[in-house]
Amino acid sequence: MITIPQRVLGEALIFSARNWPSKTAVVIKTREYSYSALKASAESIAHHLVFSGIKKGDRVAVYMNNSWQSVVSIYGITLAGAAFLVINPQTKADKLHYILKDSGAKILFSESILNNELSGALGDPTDIGEVIISGDINKISRFPSIKLVDFEETISSDSPKSVLPQVIPNDLAALIYTSGSTGFPKGVMMTHQSMVFTSWSLVEYLRLSEEDRILLLLPLAFDYGLYQLLMTITIGGTLIVEQSFTFPASVYKQIELSKPTVFPGVPTIYAMMIAANKKSGLAFDCIRKVTNTAAALPEEFIPDLKKIFPNALIFKMYGLTECKRVCYLEPELVDIKSESVGKAIPGTEVFLLSQDGKPVQPGERGILHIRGPHVMLGYWHKEELSRDMLREGTLPGERILCSNDWFKMDEDGFLYFQGRTDDIIKTRGEKVSPLEIENIIYKIPGIKEVAVIGVPDELMGEAIIAFVTTHGNTEIGETEIQKECSSRLELFMIPKRIIFLTEMPKSSNSKIDKKELRKYFIENG
């Protein structure tokens, strides 16, 4: 039998549905969905999108919680030849509107429980001409120029069968939005080629097979969450879907029922599980692989994780949205090279350069650069920012990704994270622009000056700290500022601490001196 290689994202679903039609592809609570059901539903969505006027390369947005509907939407969009963008369901109306307008998305998938933010986002003009709703469509606000369509009716109806476009590896597959230094999210452009390559590279080093059952706890808008779906469908495995880790007891029950073999997490999740283990002896012997990214996994966590997952290999990893994953540490070395994040993932290359672009010696600090097919095309409609991140390679036309992160490399080629070179805060695996938070706090009456910084945090990678000065006798408290932030920003962007100062430290050019603020926090925090 001749095996056809996968070239574009949608082919993974076609191949897996052909090989394992009745196998469970997705588990939601106690409900199971087969590969044939996923393929049929995704194709119905694809035909509807094409019938509605979507052309190859058009952008289609998904603004949903983790669900069967969001999985179907993602694969329906890619089968239609469009580029999908998954938006975190925590996203507030202002940012949702910005992302929809910036991307030029023409159709939006969402759900009725998100109507408040939807109505706020769609009240101002965007290119959205149709919203496909899961849930009670009667709860959705109406807009004269936007057509409302019922999701469930769309996948169950005999809609006209359109000719789906031919997609090639070079075509745009997705925009993955991440925070930028300007305070506005940037759309990372990923082709089918880069995402298919990355999926297979991850599958290879994580030693995954069709027998694996992967637990999804992280939002599909987060690339770490998204690739759990892509890898599952690629290998013909099973994805066990949870919306979040908000209710740990519910997650633990699902693990006992569904018996996942792969547990992707972040340090904040592992810290909660370690506390539960110390209290009640929490342990899961069904798990065979444990993965970590976002913040660095503290060395002290390893012995406790081995108690919780006694049969598991533990993978430490590092990555960034602009190329998904950079490196990983072989689980057999987790005790030997405990502070390292390993070596480059299969099929890629990494190296360190000084700030003036010269190679550094082993043991010296340098800025990590990444070379490989997984590197982004650039940022959507942001050529200048793209040039800042993508540098000329040694081959004509080749682009190398600059991570803006400091690393050291030892004599054996293992990498050690040393810190960031730019202003972006990386917390809980998300990139956060200090400016975006500062702009929200400045809107509060009585605020004089604001400066937001990230400080090292064992669980979150970096914790967000906001320094504030006020006008005159203004009385405002930490809780009030955090409450305003929570009404306008995603949960991971809310400052952990608000510190009030009488005056901000200033540099010689009269700018707020964030280095002095970091020093202040270390001494007084």
Q: What is the pLDDT of residues 13-39, one digit of tens each?
A: 999 999 999 999 999 988 999 999 999
Rounded mean pLDDT, 431-440: 86
The span from the first CA to the last CA of the chain, in angstroms, equals 65
Q: What is the pLDDT of residues 379-425, one digit of tens each?
A: 999 999 999 999 999 899 999 999 999 999 999 999 998 877 777 89
Residue 158 lies in a domain: yes
Query: How high is the pLDDT of residue 510?
Result: 58
pLDDT band at 443 (very low <50, low <70, confident <90, very high): confident
Any idea which of 300-304, 320-324, 326-330 has the lowest mean pLDDT?
300-304
Between CA 315 and CA 337 the distance in angstroms is 12
Q: What is the CATH number of the domain that holds 159?
A: 3.40.50.980
Residue 169 lies in a domain: yes
| pTM given for the model | 0.88
Q: What is the CATH number of the domain that holds 496?
A: 3.30.300.30
Report the sign of the C-alpha dihedral through residues 434, 439, 441, 446, in that order.
positive
The residue among 160, 176, 193 that closes a domain is: 193
pLDDT band at 1 (very low <50, low <70, confident <90, very high): very low
Q: What is the pLDDT of residues 178-202, one digit of tens each?
A: 986 667 899 999 999 999 999 999 9
Q: What does each C-alpha distance from 79 to 235, 243, 332, 454 come to in angstroms?
A: 18, 25, 39, 40
For 465, the domain range is: 426-524
Q: What is the pLDDT of residues 108-138, one digit of tens each?
A: 999 999 999 999 999 999 999 999 999 999 9
Query: How high is the pLDDT of residue 515?
Result: 84
pLDDT band at 472 (very low <50, low <70, confident <90, very high): confident
Q: What does each C-alpha distance from 175 to 204, 289, 371, 521 come to in angstroms?
A: 25, 29, 20, 36
pLDDT above 90 (res 523): no
The residue among 131, 159, 193 that closes a domain is: 193
Any idea which of 203-207, 226-230, 303-307, 442-446 has the lowest mean pLDDT?
442-446
pLDDT above 60 (res 2): no
Between CA 35 and CA 307 the distance in angstroms is 34
Cα atoms in the Cβ-side hemisphere of radius 13 Å centred on 196: 19
Residue 117 lies in a domain: yes
Contact 80, 49 (CB under 8 A): yes
Number of domains in the chain: 2
Picking from 414, 412, 405, 417, the residue whose alpha carbon sits closest to that of residue 296 is: 417
The chain-wide mean pLDDT, for the chain, equals 93
Residue 334 lies in a domain: no
The residue among 146, 166, 193 that closes a domain is: 193
Q: What is the pLDDT of residues 485-502, one digit of tens each?
A: 999 999 999 999 999 998
Tell me the Ramachandran region of residue 32: left when phi exceeds 0, alpha when psi lies from -120 to 50, beta otherwise: beta
Any idea which of 184-188, 275-279, 457-461 has the lowest mean pLDDT?
457-461
Any idea which of 133-142, 334-343, 455-464 has the lowest mean pLDDT?
455-464
Residue 378 lies in a domain: no
Rounded mean pLDDT, 139-147: 93
Contact 433, 413 (CB under 8 A): no
Residue 296 lies in a domain: no
Residue 398 lies in a domain: no
Residue 393 lies in a domain: no
Query: How high is the pLDDT of residue 508?
Result: 56
Between CA 453 and CA 466 the distance in angstroms is 7
Rounded mean pLDDT, 58-70: 98
Query: How high is the pLDDT of residue 509?
Result: 56
